[in-house]
Amino acid sequence: MNTTKTLSAVSSRAQLPQAKRLVVKVGSSSLTTVEGGISQERLDFLVDTLSRTVAAGTEVVLVSSGAIAAGLAPLALAKRPKDLATQQAAASVGQGLLLAQYTAQFAQQGITVAQVLLTADDLMRRTTYTNALRALVRLLNLGVLPIVNENDTVATHEIRFGDNDRLASLVAHLVKADALLLFSDVDSVYDAHPAQGGSRIPLVGHPDEISAIDLGTSGSSVGTGGMITKVQAATLSASAGIPALVTSTANAARALAGEDVGTWFAARNTRRSARDVWLAHLAVAHGRLMLDAGAVRAIRSGEKSLLAAGITSATGDFEAGDAVEICDASGTVVARGLVNYAALELPAMFGRSTSTLLADLGEGYEKPVVHVDDLALI
């Protein structure tokens, strides 16, 4: 397991102007018109704001929604399609249009941009995870502003992040950002709907502070996210050591200047790798492994792989490489991990030592059930 024993150097919103590296996410509704096309005025404002931040010496990674939304009008689609194939078609058309606009506008500010398209699978597989990290860091070192989006054209339901808020949280951990900024059309998190007298929540120190608030479920007509996804992404980021700010795109300049806008999610705990964060909170689990007390203690140390000897039972239908939940005897999830064996293989392995499995079942059974590098503690 890969954790970094430090919190972000940015501990408050007032310190954002001193940040060395930021991940900024902007939603579809902040970039597009009501009809679904790209709003030149909104895009110009965002580019101008981020360009001033870069000029001040802060590296910026932009996670931008809007590809599907930008593709609606050219395809004569009245609203965001629900079926995956049409979403992929709209993304294919819209991504090029969106990047062309970004390229032209940032070029006027003397900034070169690069397109980086990711799927969840890219951050789950060790090789592609390392390649994504290497590419992003190299781009930043070369003075390029990476523009990241989910690769909607090829992503399936099984390997989607689901929304770019979660993607932004993973990217922030991937590039070890000082903070994550989530911009949308809502200026803050409120304790109730503003129209019903709700008050702005300026600071969240722990998720329990807002757990009882009804944040709603739906996003805009051109996007997949809503306030609930932003709070989830901000909470996820903060709980793994990177603070997050949720505010409106209209407040972007003030936010980046360190002013008291939006809702600040204070960093807690130690930093974790993006892969760890994905495994612990976002990966779809295809089954469960039940452990005895000794195996639970070994797993919780953070230094041991899960061996068959400590497993008492398993449920679910999974193949080698799938994510599973790892539970104690009471059913409490203590970790998640990528399993090295299929569900059908495991029953014959329960409670048996690695040496016995190798002798009885042959080569290929010397691997741990879940390697420590593929384990994320909950």
178-194 pLDDT, tens digit each: 999 999 888 999 988 88
pLDDT above 70 covers a percentage of the chain that reads 88
Mean pLDDT value of segment 213-235: 65
Please give the pLDDT value at position 125: 67
Q: Say how many Å lie between the first and final Cα of the chain, rounded.
A: 12
Place of tokens 């999610």: 265
Strand partners, 179: 22
Mean pLDDT is highest, among 74-78, 111-115, 204-208, 230-234, for 111-115
Please give the pLDDT value at position 35: 64
Helix (H) or strand (E) holding 10: none
Please give the pLDDT value at position 159: 39
User: Taking Cα atoms as reference points, which of 368, 302, 370, 288 lies closest to residue 332?
Assistant: 288
Measured between alpha carbons, how far is 22 from 62 in angstroms, rounded to an integer? Answer: 9
If DSSP codes are grouped into helix, strand and coil, which group holds residue 377? strand
Helix (H) or strand (E) holding 244: strand 244-248
What is the set of domains in the chain, with CATH numbers?
10-278 (3.40.1160.10), 283-377 (2.30.130.10)
Mean pLDDT value of segment 190-219: 78
Residue with the larger pLDDT of the pair 6 and 91: 91
Take residue 135 and report the two structure tokens written for it: 């590419």
One-character DSSP codes across 314-373: EEE---TT-EEEEE-TT--EEEEEE-SS-TTTGGGTTT--HHHHHHHH-TT--S-SB-GG
Model confidence over 48-81: pLDDT tens digits? 999 999 999 999 999 998 888 888 888 888 888 8
Please give the pLDDT value at position 162: 55
Give residue 154's pLDDT band: very low, low, confident or very high (50, 70, 90): low
Residue 218, pLDDT above cutoff 70: no
If DSSP codes are grouped into helix, strand and coil, which group holds residue 271? strand
Model confidence over 295-317: pLDDT tens digits? 999 999 888 999 999 999 999 99
Question: Does the predicted TM-score (pTM) go above 0.85?
Answer: no
Take residue 147 and report the two structure tokens written for it: 């523009």
Average pLDDT, the chain: 86
Strand partners, 122: none
Residue 4, pLDDT above cutoff 60: no
If DSSP codes are grouped into helix, strand and coil, which group holds residue 60? strand
Measured between alpha carbons, how far is 329 from 364 in angstroms, rounded to an integer? Answer: 28
Q: Does the annotation flag 25 for ligand binding?
A: yes
Q: Does the annotation flag 304 for ligand binding?
A: no
Q: Write the CA distances from 18 to 21, 250, 256, integer angstroms.
A: 9, 21, 10
Measured between alpha carbons, how far is 358 from 117 in angstroms, rounded to an integer? Answer: 42
One-character DSSP codes across 169-225: HHHHHHTT-SEEEEEES--S-BSS-GGGT--B--EESSGGGTTTS---S---SS-S-
Q: Within the chain, how many helices (H) and strands (E) appear?
A: 10, 15
Take residue 185 and report the two structure tokens written for it: 């059309």
Give residue 2's pLDDT band: very low, low, confident or very high (50, 70, 90): very low
Q: Write the CA distances from 137 to 168, 303, 374, integer angstroms.
A: 15, 28, 23
Measured between alpha carbons, how far is 134 from 137 in angstroms, rounded to an integer? Answer: 5
Q: Does the annotation flag 184 for ligand binding?
A: yes
Model confidence over 253-291: pLDDT tens digits? 999 999 999 999 999 877 777 778 778 776 779 999 999
Q: Does the annotation flag 242 for ligand binding?
A: no
Measured between alpha carbons, how far is 127 from 331 in angstroms, rounded to an integer? Answer: 33
Please give the pLDDT value at position 1: 44
Give residue 126's pLDDT band: very low, low, confident or very high (50, 70, 90): low
Please give the pLDDT value at position 216: 57
Please give the pLDDT value at position 34: 64
Please give the pLDDT value at position 147: 96
Cα dihedral 135, 141, 143, 149 sign: positive
Strand partners, 109: none
Model confidence over 18-46: pLDDT tens digits? 999 999 999 888 887 766 678 889 999 99
Q: Does the annotation flag 1 for ligand binding?
A: no
The mean-pLDDT minimum among 69-83, 115-129, 211-225 falls in: 211-225
Q: Does the annotation flag 96 for ligand binding?
A: no
Q: Does the annotation flag 262 for ligand binding?
A: no
